[in-house]
Amino acid sequence: MAATTSHQAIGSARECHSSFGSQNGIRKLSVKMVSKVFGVDLRLISRKNCCSKSWKLGVIHASRSHSSVVDPVQIPSKNNSSNSKKKSDETALILIRHGESLWNEKNLFTGCVDVPLTQKGVEEAIEAGKRICNIPVDMIYTSALIRAQMTAMLAMTQHRRKKVPIFMHNESEQAQRWSQIYSEETKKQSIPVIADWQLNERMYGELQGLNKQETADRFGKEKVHEWRRSYDIPPPNGESLKMCAQRAVAYFKEQIEPRLLSGKNVMIAAHGNSLRSIIMYLDKLTSQEVINLELSTGIPMLYIFKDGKFIRRGSPVGPSEAGVYAYTRSLALYRQKLDEMFH
Amino acid sequence: MAVTTFHQATGSIHTHGCRSSFGFQNGIRNYSVNMVSKGFGVDARLIARGNCCSGSCRLSVTRASSSHSSVADPVQIPSKNNSSDSKKKPHETALILIRHGESLWNEKNLFTGCVDVPLTQKGVEEAIEAGKRICNIPVDMIYTSSLIRAQMTAMLAMTQHRRKKVPIITHSESEQAQRWSQISSEETKKQSIPVIAAWQLNERMYGELQGLNKQETADRFGKEKVHEWRRSYDIPPPNGESLEMCAQRAVAYFEEQIEPQLLSGKNVMISAHGNSLRSIIMYLDKLTSQEVISLELSTGIPMLYIFRDGKFIRRGSPVGPSAAGVYAYTKSLALYRQKLDEMFH
């Protein structure tokens, strides 16, 4: 199977390479690289990068990585303290952009206004959950906005490991005290959920709540286009993409990356601009490249963090699709354990 | 139609089924009363020992037929004169209470309290079903607890609302949070329903029982002690709240924050938990501590009250829109529903 795997992947990689040559080209270059073996379906639309060397390296890793990788499934056992566990060689990082919100539906600039999901957005979240139901999740980070939080919680209703996401509360001493859990066993079956404003959508200032017509009337079409599409020009009293990226990436580096380094598998549920900012950091994109990056809503993006590097593995397909395999050997082992646990 | 409604309702009240149960002072702890009136579509799922079939029910029938249509139209259809200052205050407003559905720890049978556990898929469906029942009842403001299961319940329920106003969660945790959530369009603000999250509406805090299953608690504390904490009014579990303490902060919040909104003419929905809601019901229905202990509010089934002349009139649980014979509970609710029908057909 390993032989077939490398063959298929390389075959696909070659297809990608031809498009790799198009340096200048259409703004949104769609690259579909569906590998039957890996079930990889790259919905990330970008100008290049999806088919970098790291992908091929990823294949080689998969066939070589040995099974001494610590089993990320924390099946309750006597020796199951996180201190004594050997650090994993690799961890999974899942990014999910929330689906349709009530203001998306009405075509209003949303930014940091805390608008909930539509029924369609709810369904998108559940579908996203089906795609990641076999990928380990030890911690969840969301923005302070309900649409991202709901997306995470709805997605996790589909997860096969059946651990329970629990929102952390430290807004006050009482909040912290009141949310205490008094059973070690229960804590082990919990996934801490941390909500922070640094993962919020880009703040859109005086455009928030306006529809396209109103903004064109109030500010002029070109100005609005400039704010939406430039890297560093903020709308009045708002953030530029650069400002958004600054606080989102800083947060990722300070709070999230250490978790990945310590062996935790992490899921981030957030927004178009905060996630593309993080992707800019993960994939080392330029500001020009990040402007053209569009992350599909409700389609999770998987990265493998290994040896301090982020390897993009595209978007996991739904569990019902044919030919779904893991992206690395440890993910394959994890899935196997889930199958054993529940069948 | 008014005549038919009145007749039907009166006919239903004559059903002595309810009256006879009123006499049961001592009796089974959870007394289930079904009062389905084809005229009003009232389905009182509230399980209580007395109270469901009080005189107030008939009184509200009388009010419905005599209340005049000068009651301010609760539907805020954008118009030139649509400022809440110039509007005449409505005689009555609606208060909806929703208890969230199944959470992941309910499923695992663990004491939850204030641990912030989300809904299961079943809890999600319960919330959507609840939304279908209230989709024709005006909502101007929403209050939730600070726990995600109540917030999600409210947001999921509102995806079903026919008025299509947009719930917006207000943020006041910091100056930046407030600034960042500003809306720059008056028109958009008018189509918004502010959502306020308050810890005072949280579930009763269960202290050292939080996260334990029934076996663990029995082992750690003994079965009788646990039973006492769960069923008494004023005995708290270790480092936790008694029902009395929960009621104290929940009712205080209701009186200080929510009741003034109702008085000023706002229709309010509260999405919260078993203990915080029964505490509020204790206040609305003037129950004794003995009565509130026996009160069980069904999950995912909204409870409607009409607030009028400073009084709370319980109107039971709205039925789903597809159920036959669904009418409004008061004339203004009937008018509101009519306007919704006109807007969308």
Residue B131 has pLDDT above 60, yes or no: yes
Closest residue in B to A239 (Cα–Cα): B180
Measured CA to CA, the distance from residue B228 to residue B275 in angstroms comes to: 16
Lowest-pLDDT range of B54-63, B89-98, B162-171:
B54-63
Place of tokens 């208060």: B95
Of the ranges A104-118, A128-142, B8-22, which one carries the lowest mean pLDDT score?
B8-22
Find the mean pLDDT for residues B97-102: 96
- A115 contacts in B (CB within 8 Å)? 166-168
Q: Flag if B159 and A115 touch (Cβ within 8 Å).
A: no
Question: What is the share, in percent, of chain B residues with pLDDT greater than 90?
Answer: 60
Annotated binding site of B for substrate: 99-106, 112-113, 149, 203-206, 214, 230-231, 274-275
Q: Which pLDDT belongs to residue A43?
A: 42
To the nearest whole angstrom, how far is the Cα of B100 from the nearest Cα of chain A? 15
Interacting residues of B313 by C-beta distance below 8 A, sequence separation 6+: B56, B59, B60, B305, B306, B307
CB A136 within 8 A of CB A237: no
Amino acid identity at B67: S
Which residues neighbour A83 within 8 Å (Cβ) at sequence distance 6 or greater? none
Cβ–Cβ pairs < 8 A, chains A and B: 133
pTM of the model: 0.77
Out of A156-160, A254-258, B215-219, least confident range: B215-219
Record: contact A179-B105, CB cut-off 8 A: no
A47 labeled part of a ligand binding site: no
**Which among B154, B102, B94 is positioned nearest to B130, based on CA atoms?**
B154
Q: Is residue A220 annotated as involved in ligand binding?
A: no
Query: Does residue A150 contact residue B144 with C-beta atoms inside 8 Å?
Result: no
CB of A190 closer than 8 Å to CB of A164: yes
Measured between CA atoms, the residue of chain B closest to residue A104 is B166
ipTM greater than cut 0.90: no
Residue B173: active-site member: no
Instruction: Outline where chain A has alpha helix (H).
Output: 2-20, 53-64, 102-105, 119-131, 146-156, 173-178, 184-188, 212-219, 221-229, 241-251, 257-261, 272-282, 287-291, 329-342
Distances (CA, A) of A321 to A20, A25, A41, A234: 28, 33, 11, 43
Highest mean pLDDT of the ranges A107-121, B216-230, B308-322 = A107-121
The CA distance from B100 to B97, in Å, is: 10
Rg for chain A, CA atoms, rounded: 20
pLDDT at A77 over 90: no
- Confidence class of residue B3 from pLDDT cuts 50, 70 and 90? very low
- pLDDT tens per residue, range A286-320: 999 999 898 999 899 999 999 999 999 988 877 65
**Residue A335, CA distances (Å) to A132, A273, B282, B306 in order:** 11, 32, 50, 53
B268-272 and B141-144 as β-strands: parallel, antiparallel, unpaired? parallel
